[in-house]
């Protein structure tokens, strides 16, 4: 997958052969944020402008683009919660800290 990163935000990049432009979509945010450019320079400028606008808009509304809260539900028969709790306790961590560490390692590998 082709990506761009700016201020900690990533975007998926594709080339649209029909319109002969690069198009991108910001990942990891609830809003659908797209951008485009005929050149990589134009694409990057539009991406950075989109991120800056999103941050400014979120700040103006007193919100953050990503709250830091994550809710995970798993079927009880999978026993994921119990297994994760055992792993966290074995590591000497709270469940929240263990999950944060595991997800951080998985997403930044």
Each residue's pLDDT expressed in tens, for the chain with a length of 109 residues: 799 999 999 999 999 999 999 999 999 888 899 999 999 999 999 999 999 999 999 889 888 766 667 777 888 887 888 888 888 888 888 888 888 888 888 877 5
| 6 and 34 co-located in one domain | yes
| 20 and 54 co-located in one domain | yes
| 81 and 47 co-located in one domain | no
CA distance 71 to 4: 27
Asked if residue 40 is part of any domain, the answer here is: yes
| 43 and 82 co-located in one domain | no
Q: Other C-beta atoms within 10 Å of 84: how many?
A: 16
Report if pTM > 0.75: no
Distances (CA, A) of 22 to 11, 32, 36, 102: 12, 17, 5, 34
Asked if residue 9 is part of any domain, the answer here is: yes
């Amino acid at each position: 997958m082709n990506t761009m990163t700016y201020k900690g935000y990533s975007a998926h990049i594709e080339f649209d052969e029909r319109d002969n432009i690069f198009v991108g979509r910001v990942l990891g945010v609830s809003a659908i944020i797209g951008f485009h450019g005929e050149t990589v320079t134009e694409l990057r400028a539009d991406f950075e402008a989109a991120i800056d606008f999103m941050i400014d808009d979120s700040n103006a509304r007193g919100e953050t683009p990503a709250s830091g809260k994550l809710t995970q539900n798993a079927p009880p028969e999978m026993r994921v919660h119990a297994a994760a709790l055992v792993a966290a306790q074995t590591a000497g961590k709270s469940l929240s800290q263990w999950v944060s560490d595991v997800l951080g390692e998985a997403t930044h590998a």
